[in-house]
Copies of this chain bind each other. A is one copy, B any other.
Amino acid sequence: MSTNQLDCILRPRSIAVIGASRKPDTIGNQIFRNLLYHGFSGTAYPVNPSAKSVQSVAAYPSVLELPERVDLAVIAVPCTHVLEVAEQCGQRGVGGLVVISAGFKEVGNVALERDLLAITKSNGMRLVGPNCMGVLNTAATVSMNATFAPSMPPHGTIGFVSQSGALGLSVLDYAREYGIGIAQFVSVGNKPDVSGNDLLTNWAEDAEIEVVLMYVENFGNPVRFLEIASQLSGRKPIIILKSGHSVSGARAATSHTGALAASDELVDALIEQAGALRARSMEELFDMAIAFTARKRPRSNRTVVLTNSGGPGILAADALEANGMVLPELCEHTIRELKAVLPPEASFRNPMDMIASARPQNYRTALQLLLADPNVDSALALFVPPMGVRQQDVAEAVAAAALGSDKPVYAVLMARNGLPEGRAELHDAHIPAYIFPESAARGLAAAVKHEARRSRVTELAPAIDADRTTARSIIAAGIAAQRSNLTQLESLQLVKAYGIGIVEAVVVHDRAEATRASASFNQPLALKIMAGGISHKSDVGGVQLNVLPEEAGSAFDAMLSTVTRARSDVVIEGVLMQPMAAAGVELIVGAVRDPLFGAAIMLGAGGVLVELMKDVVFRFAPLTTTDARAMLDRLRSRALLDGFRGQPPVDRASIVDTLLRISRLMQDCPEVTELDINPLFARPNGVQAVDCRVRLHSV
């Protein structure tokens, strides 16, 4: 057991419940009752100024009069009394506070919450809440239920932190039914002090926690979350249910915890980059949590379905493949052995359908043979009860077969009159058990995904060589001139200074300059108007492609007059002249600095795909090489990179390199708030930035 500063809250030896009430159906009464009823291993004191005893235990009028200094005070008094009580706790040397009381930041009382935090800080106390549901630790040595949940969840290895008390309560309620064992639960409420990040840090070192479950409405410090979770996810799965991604949902999240809602794309990127698993619904949270009750790990996504009925077997196969699993053909050897023990009407494929006559012994034998097949690394055993077969017997047969293999077995017991029988046997054998094939598929896929994360070796980004002097001077000039944007030419020069290949460009301001400059290019040219107020240049005749060098002068004049006619309101700064870039796969690479999340690097399919299909991937700086590679793999249109329609594949390494250089640039240059390379042409021999925009902000 680790010792650290949260131990006074998570493993207290003495607790005062301030606001413990004699009235049933009050929170203060329920919390004290839960401590007694669920056998808290330490000493619990009720504090109540007007009662002699609560739940038959002698009460104290105030925390100041307790016979000993307690580790933890749970405060359930009206919010108007919380500061006074917290002060007294500080005086009495209490280690930590759990403030159940509501009426703080969540209803606009920002000052009250700030004052509460100040009191705890100045007295060296840690604070969980306010506006929370309490804390819980099922370890036999602690056995603390300091919540007002109506029941104690079964003991297990999950650490669960919830930003919503009610949702936490629901999950604890379901835990017993679903066979999910909880080690510790913390309802963090408004989390001015103890946050999800603190608990991740704490649970990283706590051997009793093997799986972390989080319900999150907003990330208070996503940068720190990324650091902590990226480390932790290499050892323990982190399952996150994040709400508030819809328009209305986000609105409600804002009013609910008074916190900023972050856009869902960034949240997705954050969770993926951290190597955590995102649950898309409460059901999926349970599906995934159940999955990690298995003690064995799937080495790959190749699995086999064993069933006694075709329909559910097909549904399982569908759901597995939809979740990225693969159902390979079985070895000839396996099929031969299966045929020796199963009736000929069975279907010797994957799914392996033993048909309705299958007995428990068939499950045992067939599952043993399937687990021995080198083509698969896990098995899903599915059972629809026919007559004359007890589910318990099948469960025992499945458990017995699983025992002899190092590959995990997942089970689906399709229910019979409510709660399926046989679950207990499977739980005891650490075989995740589900009642729907689709749930099992989601769970198994999550286990595979975590295992891939766990076995991944992160390749760090190499040192980036950059001409930082040039870069600094470009930015400094823009800042000095109080410009919010660099020019296109400056932007291209900036990314060039960071080692990104660009299509060279010059800016010309009159016909003579255009003619002179064109002579240095021995190939067709692209001319683009430069003017602040024009966002779609081609709409106003501001783009001319394939201009021969000798025609550059007349093309310059023509463009100026066309654009002036179309948009007399803008000031034309000049014309950018570039050699025509050879064709390539059109990408967009960019970065945006979010005040909360930090610098997010973006990769997208260019042209119409990015706008229409939103085919973009975000990751946060600093990128590792592994992160950058993952970005390419996550593009839906990644087939474009691998030799689409008979084209040669493009140089992926140069795209990865570009992303790492952008990441470095965003770290080095805090003044850059947005950056867009659009398009970046990717070709078999490298990449080239054609156009670039950079937005600045003084820092």
A interface, CB within 8 angstroms of B: 24-27, 30, 102-103, 106-107, 148, 150-151, 162-167, 169-170, 173-174, 176-177, 215, 217, 241, 243-249, 251-253, 255-257, 281-283, 308-315, 317-322, 327, 344-345, 347, 349-351, 353, 355-356, 384-388, 414-419, 436-439, 536, 539, 608-609, 611-613, 636-637, 639-640, 644-646
A649 → B minimal CB distance (Å): 15
B256 touching A353 by the CB < 8 A rule? yes
A173 touching B249 by the CB < 8 A rule? no
A288 → B minimal CB distance (Å): 14
B416 touching A150 by the CB < 8 A rule? yes
Residues of B near A415 (CB, < 8 A) are 170, 173-174, 177
Residues of B near A165 (CB, < 8 A) are 309, 311, 356
B611 touching A318 by the CB < 8 A rule? no
CA distance A350 to B247 in the complex (A): 11
Determine which residue in A24, A27, A416, A539 has the highest number of CB atoms from chain B within 10 A of its CB, and name it: A416
A246 touching B30 by the CB < 8 A rule? no
CA distance A642 to B231 in the complex (A): 47
A349 → B minimal CB distance (Å): 6
Determine which residue in A255, A282, A351 has the highest number of CB atoms from chain B within 10 A of its CB, and name it: A282
CA distance A256 to B384 in the complex (A): 16
A243 touching B315 by the CB < 8 A rule? yes
Q: Which of B246, B350, B355, B613 touches A613 (beta carbons < 8 Å)?
A: B613
Residues of B near A611 (CB, < 8 A) are 644-645
In the complex, residue of chain B having the shortest beta-carbon distance to the beta carbon of A356 = B166
Residues of B near A169 (CB, < 8 A) are 384
B173 touching A417 by the CB < 8 A rule? yes
A314 touching B539 by the CB < 8 A rule? no
A311 touching B246 by the CB < 8 A rule? no
A345 touching B107 by the CB < 8 A rule? yes
Residues of B near A344 (CB, < 8 A) are 107
Q: Which of B322, B347, B387, B539 touches A256 (beta carbons < 8 Å)?
A: B347
Residues of B near A282 (CB, < 8 A) are 315, 436-438
11 pairs from A and B in contact (CB 8 Å cutoff): A106-B345, A150-B387, A166-B312, A167-B312, A169-B384, A173-B415, A173-B416, A215-B311, A249-B315, A281-B319, A611-B644
Residues of B near A439 (CB, < 8 A) are 283
A418 touching B177 by the CB < 8 A rule? yes
Q: Which of B102, B281, B387, B417 touches A30 (beta carbons < 8 Å)?
A: B387
Do A353 and B252 contact each other (CB < 8 Å), given the known contacts A243-B311, A418-B419?
Answer: yes
Residues of B near A173 (CB, < 8 A) are 414-417
In the complex, residue of chain B having the shortest beta-carbon distance to the beta carbon of A612 = B637
Residues of B near A639 (CB, < 8 A) are 612
Q: Which of B27, B163, B384, B646 touches A311 (beta carbons < 8 Å)?
A: B163
Instruction: Given A164-B309, A176-B417, A255-B353, output 13 extra A-B contacts at Cβ < 8 Å.
Output: A107-B345, A150-B416, A166-B356, A249-B317, A252-B317, A252-B349, A253-B314, A256-B310, A256-B314, A281-B319, A281-B436, A611-B645, A612-B639
Residues of B near A246 (CB, < 8 A) are 317-318, 320-322
Which 4 pairs, one residue from A and one from B, show the smallest C-beta to C-beta distance? A164-B311, A166-B309, A25-B388, A167-B311
CA distance A645 to B536 in the complex (A): 9
Q: Which of B321, B353, B417 touches A151 (beta carbons < 8 Å)?
A: B417
Residues of B near A322 (CB, < 8 A) are 246
Q: Which of B243, B612, B644 touches A644 (beta carbons < 8 Å)?
A: B612
Determine which residue in A170, A247, A418 has the highest number of CB atoms from chain B within 10 A of its CB, and name it: A170
Residues of B near A350 (CB, < 8 A) are 248
Residues of B near A217 (CB, < 8 A) are 310-311, 314
B314 touching A244 by the CB < 8 A rule? yes
A255 touching B347 by the CB < 8 A rule? yes
In the complex, residue of chain B having the shortest beta-carbon distance to the beta carbon of A245 = B318
Do A314 and B252 contact each other (CB < 8 Å), given the known contacts A27-B387, A174-B415, A282-B436?
Answer: yes
B164 touching A312 by the CB < 8 A rule? yes
CA distance A646 to B538 in the complex (A): 11
Residues of B near A320 (CB, < 8 A) are 246, 248
A361 → B minimal CB distance (Å): 16
In the complex, residue of chain B having the shortest beta-carbon distance to the beta carbon of A637 = B612
CA distance A608 to B418 in the complex (A): 50
Residues of B near A536 (CB, < 8 A) are 645-646
CA distance A317 to B251 in the complex (A): 10
Residues of B near A353 (CB, < 8 A) are 252, 255-256
CA distance A458 to B350 in the complex (A): 44
Q: Which of B244, B257, B321 touches A249 (beta carbons < 8 Å)?
A: B321
Determine which residue in A166, A249, A327 has the highest number of CB atoms from chain B within 10 A of its CB, and name it: A166
Do A310 and B252 contact each other (CB < 8 Å), given the known contacts A315-B282, A387-B30, A387-B148?
Answer: yes
